[in-house]
Amino acid sequence: MEGSITKSSKLVGLAGALLALSLMAGCGPNQDVVAAQSAAQQADQAASRAEAASQTAQQAAASAQASASKVEQSAADAKAAADRAEAIAAKTDTSGGAPVHHHWHRHVHHHAAAAAAPADTSAPEPAPASS
């Protein structure tokens, strides 16, 4: 955009120079002067349009930057929410839900019954011989 403005400014300067040369040469208002004035006016209009386009582009860039900032903030908010949800889920998983009560019983009566039974002192029977 800035290149267009510079080019337009040069055209305005060139048209002005042509007009000045024509007047200094004593030609009076002739076709060259009228053409130079027309060119200068067109260059001025082109410069105005280029400046307006530049401003529009700057506004669009600012709007895009603001939108990008909002997207970044939304992404950061979403990540924070996901982190909080993960932390809550981790707490829920480690707690195991409702409290569980373990009851430990000592089953001494089983051991006592085994100790009270007479011990088998007989030797084991030999295995049959294989032929």
Task: Report whether 49 contacts 27 (CB < 8 A).
Answer: no
d(CA 32, CA 10): 19
Lowest mean pLDDT among 60-64, 72-76, 119-123: 119-123
Burial of 15 (0-12, 13-18, 19+ CB in 10 A): buried
d(CA 71, CA 98): 41
Q: What is the pLDDT of residue 79?
A: 96
Mean pLDDT of 40-67: 96
- Backbone φ/ψ region at 97: left (φ over 0), alpha (ψ -120 to 50), beta: left
Task: Report whether 39 contacts 18 (CB < 8 A).
Answer: yes
DSSP state of 26: T
Task: Examine the pLDDT at 88 and tell me if it is beyond 60.
Answer: yes
Q: Which two tokens stand for residue 119?
A: 């011990």
